[in-house]
Amino acid sequence: MKVVRTKAELRAELAPARTTGQVIGLVPTMGALHGGHLALLAAARERSDVVVMSLFVNPAQFGPGEDLDAYPRDEDRDAELAALEGVDLLWIPDADEIYPDGFATSVEVANSFTGVLEGDPSHRGPSHFRGVTTVVAKLFNSVQPDVAYFGRKDAQQALVIERMTRDLDFPVEIVVLPTVREDDGLAEEAARGGETSTDALVETARNELRNSGIEPEYVEARAAEDLSPVAELNGRPVLVAVAARVGRARLIDNVLINPKTEA
């Protein structure tokens, strides 16, 4: 595995693969690798001739109340795990490489996608996703991958990136891998039981969390394809998303309910 830190080094290393038409797969990360990242890397390894993993803690997606300096960093551990998963090229730029002096451009997806759930001003706010889409656009332009891999555990982020990629005609296939979990989800079980009211599904999930001693920051049901509000399961896939603090950690998760398959 080769480690590079500048765009010039990155492009030089990828030039032979690009010239010969090899498939380049990208897995963007902020480090602190866990099982979800490793699943993305394994999928990229299976489908790509060259696997690139970016490791960049993006300051632009941290709000004023969020502690950028406290974000876990262990470059050596992340590099070791990446190598074990078959990564060919590990790109570790610093902030000045991504946001050089005088940087004045951002990429923004409509508020209907980025101003709800995590992007609601009472939570992380829409500037969070502006930071995400701007850095991902830069990663796409720098790596120029054929395929990029994201996890559905952060379903809103994946949807926003899919929309940005489509709307701006990035020649990148977006692969979103499902979250691996047991088939005993809270709202999912209620849907299988015939419940169609999303308010009832949300309340089921909220009560179960509270019974476990967790007070959710939010539990919401949204249309999975565009995050619009939805009152009933009416044949469209519905995303039930949750955020909660467990100890010092703020966790997000979601479950996708497809009424056609929950009978």
When mean pLDDT is compared across 25-34, 131-140, 175-184, 236-245, the lowest value belongs to 175-184
Q: Which strands sit side by side in the sheet containing 238-246, from one edge to the other?
A: 216-223, 238-246, 249-257
For all residues of the chain together, what is the average pLDDT? 91
> For the structural domain made of 2-177, what CATH number should be given?
3.40.50.620
> pLDDT-derived band of residue 91, with 50, 70 and 90 as boundaries?
very high
pTM of the model: 0.90
> pLDDT-derived band of residue 178, with 50, 70 and 90 as boundaries?
confident
Domain spanning 186-257, CATH class: alpha beta
> pLDDT-derived band of residue 155, with 50, 70 and 90 as boundaries?
very high
pLDDT of residue 250: 85
The proportion of the chain whose per-residue pLDDT surpasses 90, expressed as a percent, equals 74
The per-residue pLDDT for range 192-230, each reduced to its tens digit, is 556 688 898 899 889 988 998 999 999 999 999 999 999
Q: What are the start-end ranges of the H helices in the chain?
A: 7-19, 35-47, 75-84, 95-98, 111-114, 126-143, 155-167, 186-192, 198-211
Residue positions annotated with a catalytic role: 37
DSSP, collapsed to helix, strand or coil, labels residue 221 as: strand
| Residue 93 pLDDT greater than 80, yes or no | yes
Count of residues in the chain = 263
Report how far residue 235's alpha carbon sits from residue 126's, in angstroms, rounded to the nearest whole number: 29
Instruction: Output b/e per residue, 143-170; b: 16+ Cβ within 10 A.
Output: bbbbbbbbbbbbbbbbbbbbbbbeeeeb
The per-residue pLDDT for range 113-153, each reduced to its tens digit, is 999 999 999 999 989 999 999 999 999 999 999 999 999 98
Q: How far are the Cα atoms of 117, 184, 193, 256 from residue 181, in angstroms, in the given order?
A: 22, 8, 19, 12
HSE of 193, CA atoms in CB hemisphere, 13 A = 12
> pLDDT-derived band of residue 182, with 50, 70 and 90 as boundaries?
very low
Amino acid letter for position 16? P
The per-residue pLDDT for range 28-77, each reduced to its tens digit, is 999 999 999 999 999 999 999 999 999 999 999 998 878 888 889 999 99
Partner residues linked to 54 by β-bridges: 28, 91
Residue found under tokens 């595995």: 1
Burial class (CB in 10 A: 0-12, 13-18, 19+), 96: exposed
pLDDT of residue 161: 98
pLDDT of residue 184: 46
For the chain, the domains span: 2-177, 186-257
